Chain A
Amino acid sequence: GAVVSQHPSRVICKSGTSVKIECRSLDFQATTMFWYRQFPKQSLMLMATSNEGSKATYEQGVEKDKFLINHASLTLSTLTVTSAHPEDSSFYICSAPVGGEAFFGQGTRLTVV
C-alpha cells in the first residue's frame, strides 16, 4: 500500500508557542490530504482538507487562523498549530486518498504544557 510519513511522532511545547507537523506521501503524489484530530477514546474528527496549490477547506468549528495548513507540493502538507494552548493537546493524524482508499500517517501526539 501507499506510504504516508508523518513527523514528528511526539512533540511537547510550551503554551503560546507554535508547532509544525509534516505529512509526506513517500511513493505517490497527493493532490489532497486530510488532517484529523483524535481525543482519547474518541473518533477521528476531520479538521480540514488540504489541496495542493490552493487554500485548505476547514470543517465547521475549526479555527483556520489557529490551525494553518499548507500544501505547497504534491508530496508535502503541513499543519501548524499556532499559539498552542493545553486544550490543543491531542493526537493529530494526516491521510491521503489513493485509488479509492485512504492511507494514514503514524500520527503526532501533541502535548502543550
Chain B
Amino acid sequence: EDQVTQSPEALRLQEGESSSLNCSYTVSGLRGLFWYRQDPGKGPEFLFTLYSAGEEKEKERLKATLTKKESFLHITAPKPEDSATYLCAVQVGGSNYKLTFGKGTLLTVNP
C-alpha cells in the first residue's frame, strides 16, 4: 500500500527563520511527487512536481528536492504570508493522475 508521511505535523517559525518540511514515501513505481499549499477553507494550490531523484525546483522562497525515499520543502527567510498547510502527494505509475496525500504540515510564521 502506498504511504506518504509528512513531518513535522506543525511548525512555528519566526519571520526570516529558514527551515525544511519533510515528506517520506513508500510507493511502488513513483511517477511524480507533488507539493501543494492549502489555506484554511480553500482547495490546494499547486507548487511543484518532482519526477526523479536529484531533481530540484524553486519558486520564490520555496525549494523542493527529491530523493528515492523522501522530499524536502525548504523555506528560506519565510514571511507571515507563507503561513499555510503544505501538502505532499505522490502519483504512482499507471494510476491516471490519482494522488495519495500526506496529512500535511501546518506552518505558522510569526512576524
Contacts and interface: CB of A to CB of B under 8 A. Distances in A.
> A and B from one assembly?
yes
Interface of A: 1, 4, 6, 9, 32, 34, 41-46, 49, 91, 93, 95, 97, 100-107, 109
A4 B43 CA distance: 10
**Of A1, A4, A44, most B-chain CB atoms within 10 Å:** A44
Given A41-B103, A101-B49, A46 B98 contact: yes
A76 B4 CA distance: 30
Nearest to A96: B97
Interface string B90-104: 000000111111111
Contact of B101 (A44, A103, A109): A44
A46 B99 contact: yes
Nearest to A9: B41
A43 B102 contact: yes
Query: B interface, how many residues as a size bin?
Result: 20 to 34
Given A97-B97, A102-B34, A102-B97, A44 B87 contact: yes
Contacts of B41: 9, 91, 107, 109
The interface residues of chain B, by DSSP majority, are classed as strand
A44 B46 CA distance: 14
B95 to A, nearest CB: 10
B69 interface: no
A55 to B, nearest CB: 15
Contact of B46 (A43, A49, A101): A101
B46 A102 contact: yes
A105 B49 contact: no
B98 A49 contact: yes
Contacts of A9: 41
Contact of B44 (A6, A42, A93, A97): A93
A100 B93 CA distance: 12
